[in-house]
Structure 1
């Protein structure tokens, strides 16, 4: 089978390495650190299966265009991708499906609605949560204890200063407290098949969850506080009723559903759905799938998913190494040193995300420079979280470039928990 992976980051590198176990893989547009990359548009590539990584092409209808041309595609059409493209619509869908979620209200940039948003904030208690309804590359959410900061964020989003048109409609949610957890399910339009392992992402730029939100600075899986039985309970609560609601609305959803939950004292609550594998969550999930991933995704794309997903009990920890200035103004062009040394650490995989070639062209020895905010993903694997974490950080210390930044506490809390039944 030949598989075309659409995207250019660490998630797509993880797809390429995992799918490459059983299939021929090409990645478009990819990046200079992914060997199977090509500049050929996906519509001009002849493949047996197309796997669309990022949310942008999905919301733009790439899956629809490929299917209209008779191609087999893993990824929802534009109607299903609206679950992520419009957080307001997502909240409407899950509320109709009866999925427990935070109380919310939506507002647009009309003057009366703008004033109503500020009034609604005054009725809430901290933490205050303000989200862009549209796509914002994982950075459109403010969670703050300060009411003044929340009011300022409402203004910045609704007047287009913060996120352009994506922020001119917002969702203001009841603030919830508790640990967060992510789960994935493969969907074939009729059935949602759980990946039976929980993942925890670290969104803030700094140690101790400080600083602004990012696209994700690292993650860990599995989790000691969310065993496989708990994963199944969360899946039954969220995936099955949501897929049924989508079907009732005429949406033939074939792709992955990515659910983010908060485990509150009152019980789990769905925070959001995304319509693609998370980045960097995919990096600690895809490599642990023991089935033929290409076969699984092809079956889902064809509407014929029958196999359960088998995931290894091994632990994985991913540490994201970012460019100087990330997430506000990442600096590019800094030479990356030590990638090969990092790859020689046992149990480690280094995935390339925001990398570029020197002066935009191939260089002797394959030298790479920083080309984006999140530059490389260093993934350690081991029999337990502590081992996986140690391996990841040993490899991180092999890599350097001017201004390189990373969190030193990814999965630290997990090593203090005693793992239960996974």
Structure 2
């Protein structure tokens, strides 16, 4: 009834404004259809799309057999579920948060690959499309259908968003701590875990990918699926301080570490510490003062040296939970990291780092983390389980000496 009334009203319009016709549908028909939607949620969105498509078909005098997806693409219509996502994005200030990351974010004008004409999308919609992809891992065709754009437009929005995010925020919201920050991080770690001078926890994870046509065997990990081996260092507040995401799944954690910028530049990245502790006892049964440098802690897959500690005291095992929880929260929010995406393998490193930046931002902004996301993540990860860690026997004498002083 509301649909027929809306069509009759539009037929009497003196204006040819297409926006006015679309707004009439939202103000009359949509209001009725979405009544009490906070109770029944979005379970019946497909039925709502049929009503929306019927309205525009009658408005344009199109046959009812006209393909709905083609209609939405031609008119640039956004499905109810995606419109709900955008409204939620706005209501909770997530667009404001994401936009402020780049102060403001400026995604380049995208063009159609076929016609080379500009695709006129608002920055808000481009960000919403990109965030929807990262958070849902929905296929390009599904997102294109939902937002009323082409698959190539979705692809361009995702890649442009990630590129701009990395260019603007690596070194800012995702950055290695300076001397003052290291001091604060070490103080918090010591309060929580009773271990001095820890400035981070290192660990790795595997992100499943669509295997490339060339070199697929290199990306196959020990569990038999294709992945990218990711290394990250996390502080005590679940914030990523360094991410390496360019190694194929066959790589061992130790080889990922050796190829990382952290390993190559640790002498300059890790600031000097003036902390002295009572170390091992000398022949006179007196504790020797030991100048303890800052260090990170890892599991058995990493070498023991004077800036990486492993395999001692129960407190270390407890402290390592920080990085496991950070990875869990990262993947819980950004589902593209635990599902096999239709993204090209060579674009995945940018996506992984972008998710790390967004993770840091929502953690700093104290956004609520829903525990139900963990249930979904654990179920999703069961399809792509993490490979077992291999023991690393590369241990330096300086690492052993430092560990002895800490354990004394």
TM-score by structure 2 length? 0.24
Rg larger in 1 or in 2?
2
Higher strand content, 1 or 2: 1
Higher helix content, 1 or 2: 2
TM-score by structure 1 length? 0.23
